[in-house]
Amino acid sequence: MTINLTNAGKRFNRDWIFRKATYTFFPGQTYAITGSNGSGKSTLLQAICGSLGISEGKIEWSINNKPIDADNVYNHLTLAAPYVEVIEEMTAVEFLQFHHQFKPLLPSITIKEILKIIGLEKSAIKQIRYYSSGMKQRIKLAQAIFSDVPLLLLDEPCTNLDVTGFELYNSLIKNFAKEKTIIVSSNDLNEYSFCKEVISILDYK
């Protein structure tokens, strides 16, 4: 997916979160949006995914030079973020099955295999409400990374993960997200060390 920002800006009341952002995200490339806490990284990421309207400028999405309407962008992306909740009344199996109704899984992989890869096979039929925060984060990453869509958005993707979780995260990116356009919002190098391009939100203040 190609994403073009042209003089894009977002403000809340009189405060500009970012402004005059002109940038192109190209298919299959990896990007990091960096900046201190509260600097507007997540706001920019939400604008990129079409869930938050901008106050000025424009954002355009396309696949193979075919424009995508803003209302349909969500069909072509997945997002893992601390503010995106899982359905805690469901088991891990039920949650991934439910998500699969809206986004196809990567070819040649099953939900059973996914749970084994992320180390949750023994908790597959336990309600997510009984999971630790780290286990919940693994499920969030799984639903995002194993979906067969061209754009992967990650906001502080290793929140609540321990050292083993960080290793799992990097393994998932390396093995299952090679063909995706990836945009990571983070100020932790361990979360975006694989990204080829680094964008500072402070450049658009």
Percent of the chain with pLDDT over 70: 100
pLDDT of residue 130: 97
Dihedral sign computed on CA atoms, order 82, 78, 22, 57:
negative
What is the identity of the amino acid at 40?
G
Task: Please give the mean pLDDT across all residues of the chain.
Answer: 96
87-98 per-position pLDDT tens digit: 999 999 999 999
Helix/strand/coil for 26: coil
pLDDT of residue 155: 97
Average of pLDDT values for 64-71? 94
In which band, very low, low, confident or very high, does the pLDDT at 174 lie, cut at 50, 70 and 90?
very high
- Of 121, 120, 126, 115, give the one whose Cα is nearest residue 91: 126
181-196 per-position pLDDT tens digit: 999 999 999 999 999 9
Average of pLDDT values for 123-138? 97
How far is 86 from 24, CA to CA, in rounded Å?
31
pLDDT of residue 147: 97
In which band, very low, low, confident or very high, does the pLDDT at 79 lie, cut at 50, 70 and 90?
very high
Report phi then psi at 185, rounded to 5.
-100, 115
pLDDT of residue 3: 98
How far is 85 from 65, CA to CA, in rounded Å?
33
Domain boundaries, the chain: 2-88+150-204
Q: Where are the alpha helices (DSSP H) in 19-87?
A: 41-48
How far is 177 from 184, CA to CA, in rounded Å?
13
pLDDT of residue 5: 98
How far is 14 from 22, CA to CA, in rounded Å?
21
pLDDT of residue 112: 97
pLDDT of residue 43: 96
In which band, very low, low, confident or very high, does the pLDDT at 6 lie, cut at 50, 70 and 90?
very high
How far is 139 from 49, CA to CA, in rounded Å?
20
Residues near 179 by beta carbon (within 8 Å), at least 6 away in sequence: 28, 150
How far is 127 from 43, CA to CA, in rounded Å?
31
Percent of the chain with pLDDT over 90: 97
Average of pLDDT values for 44-73? 95
Give CATH for domain 2-88+150-204.
Answer: 3.40.50.300
How far is 23 from 6, CA to CA, in rounded Å?
7
